[in-house]
Amino acid sequence: MNGPQDIGGKQGLGTVPYEPDEPVFHSEWERRVFGLSFCSWLSSGVTVDESRWMQATMPYERYYGSLYYERWLYSLERLMVEKGVATQEELERGASLADPALPVVEPSELAAVVVGLAKNGIKRERPAPAPGFEVGQTVRAKVINPSGYDRLPTYLRGRRGAVDCSYGGFVHPEDLAAGRLEEPGANCYRVRFSASELWGESAENPEDSVCIDLFENYLEQP
Amino acid sequence: MSLDHDHVHAEHGHPWSPPSELEARVRALESLLIEKGRATPEAIDAIIGKYETEIGPLLGAGVVARAWADEEFRRRLLDDADAVLGELELSGFEAEHVKVVECTPSEHHIVVCTLCSCYPWALLGLPPGWYKSPAYRARAVSEPRAVMAEFGLVLEDGVRVTVWDSSADIRYLVLPLRPEGTEGWSEERLAELVTRDSMIGVSRPLEPEAAAA
C-alpha cells in the first residue's frame, strides 16, 4: 500500500531534526507505550508486521501529525480490538467489561519472556522453493499498487537493478502481517539500484546506489 | 508522570507538549491490558529497563572496535556477521540477521528504513528520533549526500555512496573507517571513538584528540 508510511524519495519534508544527547524516551508516556506494546504483542501473538500494517493504514493527517510512539499507541489500540482482546468501549473506559480469551503467555512468566525475546530475537528463516533469480542477474521491481500490505517501496517500482545476494527463504512479511505464521518461506534477495536509475539527472552522483532486500514476488525479468 | 513541556522534540523539530488526553489514553490502555493479563507492571518495567540501560550503542561500538583491532575478527564479521554476533550473544530482537558493511577510502555506507524504522536494536538500542523522522526516511535514499552534509559529513571526491534501505529481515551495521592516529590503541580506547551515528553512516567516528579531551 502506498500509504503515508511509503515515503522514500518524497520531497518537501525539511531538514533532518537532530537532537544532541537525545534520551531513549522523551517522557513517561513514551516509556509506557513502548513497554506495553512489547508485552502485549507477545502475549497476544501480534507480529511486528501487523503493527507496521496498522500504522500504514493510519489516515495521512494523523500519521504525519503524530509522534512516533503515538503511532505505536494507535496501532496497539486498534490491534487489541482486531484481535478480540478489547472492545472500543473498554479502551475508552480503561476497564474490562468482559473476559477475553486467555493470553498466549502466562502473566507471571511475561517479564522473563519479554526480556528473553529482546536478548534472543525471533528467527524468521523458513525453507523456500528454489530461487528464481541468480546473483548478478538484472531484475526489475514490478509495477504493482496493492491496497494491502507490501514491502516494495513505491520509489523502486518499475526500476531495474542487479541481484547482489540471494539470502534464501524467510516467512513473507505479507504473511506475518496477516497472522499467517505457517506459510512456506519466500526467497529474499538483495538488489542494487543505481542512483541514476532511481533519480535520473537529479541523482547526486551517478556512482551512488541503493541496496534493498526484496522478496521474489516483487521482482521480474526485465 | 513528568511532563517535559520545554524540550524540542526530535521527530518534528518544534516545541512540543504532550496533550493530557494522550497520557490519559496510555493510562487507560495500560490498566485495561494489565487487567486482561496481556501485560504486567513487572514485564513493562523489565523491558523498558532492558533498552534504557543494557541494549544500546555501546554494544555496537564494542563490535566495531574489535573489528578495527583484530583482523581475523574483522574478516569473519564481514563474511558472516550472524555467526560472530551469535557467539557474542548479540543476535537479539531486531538484529537476528545482520550484514556489516565496511566503509573504505572509495565507498561510504549509510543506513535507512524508508517504510518504517527498521534498525539493529540488539546492537544500537532503540533508534533516535531523527532516524525515525519522515525527513530522514524520505531523503536518505534520494539525496544521501545532502543529508550527510547536514550532519557535517562531506565525503572526499571519488567516494561513492551506498544507501542500505532496510526493508526485510536483515539489519545493517556500518563499520566506519578507523580514524588515523590510533595505531596500537586497545579495543577499549577505540570503542570510545565509535559513535552511534557513525554506525548508521551519517557521520565519522570521533577523532583521537576528541576522545582525549
Residue B7 has pLDDT above 50, yes or no: no
Q: Residue B35's closest chain A neighbor by CA?
A: A96
Question: How close does chain A come to B209, measured CA to CA in Å?
Answer: 20
Q: Compute the distance between CA of residue A42 and CA of residue A50 in angstroms, rounded to an integer.
A: 12
**Closest by alpha carbon to B189, among B172, B205, B177?**
B205
Q: In terms of CA atoms, which chain A residue is nearest residue B171?
A: A213
Gap between the Cα atoms of B142 and A204, Å rounded = 8
B116 is catalytic: yes
What's the sign of the alpha-carbon dihedral A29, A31, A32, A38? positive
**Mean pLDDT, chain A, as a whole number?**
96
pLDDT class of B8 with cuts at 50, 70, 90: very low
Q: What topology is assigned to A138-220 in CATH?
A: SH3 type barrels. (2.30.30)
What average pLDDT does the segment B206-211 reach? 86
Q: Are B100 and B154 in contact (CB under 8 A)?
A: no
Q: Closest Cα partner for A38 from A28, A29, A27, A51?
A: A51
What pLDDT score does B192 carry?
97
* Main-chain dihedrals φ then ψ at residue A188, nearest 5 degrees: -120, 140
Read off the pLDDT band of A98 (50, 70, 90).
confident
Mutation target vs B (from A11, A30, A36; most B CBs, 10 A cutoff): A36
Fold that domain B55-212 belongs to in CATH:
Nitrile Hydratase; Chain A (3.90.330)
What confidence score (pLDDT) does residue B213 get? 52
pLDDT at A144: 97
Is a pLDDT exceeding 50 seen at residue A212?
Answer: yes
Q: With H, G, I as helix, E, B as strand and everything else as coil, classify residue B202.
A: coil
Active site residue B103: no
Q: B75 and chain A: CB distance < 8 Å anywhere? A: no
The four Cα atoms B125, B128, B134, B140 give a dihedral, to 10 degrees, of -80
Q: What's the whole-number average pLDDT of chain B?
A: 92
Q: Which residues of B fall within a CB distance of 8 Å from A25?
A: 48, 52
Question: Can you give the residue ranges of every domain in chain A?
Answer: 28-120, 138-220
Complete DSSP assignment for A42-90: HHHT--HHHHHHHHHTS-HHHHHHS-HHHHHHHHHHHHHHHTTS--HHH
The Cα A43–Cα B208 span in angstroms is 47
- β A209-215/B160-165 pair status: parallel
Whether the per-residue pLDDT at A182 is higher than 80: the answer is yes
Domain ranges of chain B: 20-52, 55-212
Q: What is the pLDDT of residue B212?
A: 60
Q: Which of B31, B143, B150 sits opposite A95 (nearest CB)?
A: B31
Mutate to test the interface with B, among A2, A18, A28, A66 (most CBs of B within 10 A): A18
Q: Is domain A28-120 in CATH 1.10.472.20, yes or no?
A: yes
Q: Residue B33: its chain A contacts at CB < 8 A?
A: 36, 39-40, 80, 85-86
Mean pLDDT of all residues in A173-188: 94
> In this predicted model, what pLDDT tens digit does every residue of B116-140 receive, in sequence order?
999 999 999 999 999 999 999 999 9
CB contact under 8 A, A121 and B122: yes
Percent residues over pLDDT 70 in chain A? 100
Judged by CB atoms within 8 Å, which residues 77-96 of B form the interface with A?
A: 89, 91-96
B78-113 residue pLDDT tens: 999 999 999 999 999 999 999 999 999 999 999 999
Residue range A104-132: average pLDDT? 95
**Predicted-complex ipTM score:** 0.97
Q: What is the pLDDT of residue B13?
A: 52
Contact map slice: B 142-201 vs A, CB within 8 A? 142-147, 150-151, 160-170
In this prediction, residue B18 carries a pLDDT of: 54
Residue B9 has pLDDT above 50, yes or no: no
Task: Tell me whether residues B163 and A210 touch, CB distance under 8 A.
Answer: yes
pLDDT digits over A39-80, tens only? 999 999 999 999 999 999 999 999 999 999 999 999 999 999
Of A141-150, B14-23, B175-184, the least confident:
B14-23
- Region A23-35 average pLDDT: 97
Per annotation, catalytic residue among B91, B103, B117, B166: B117
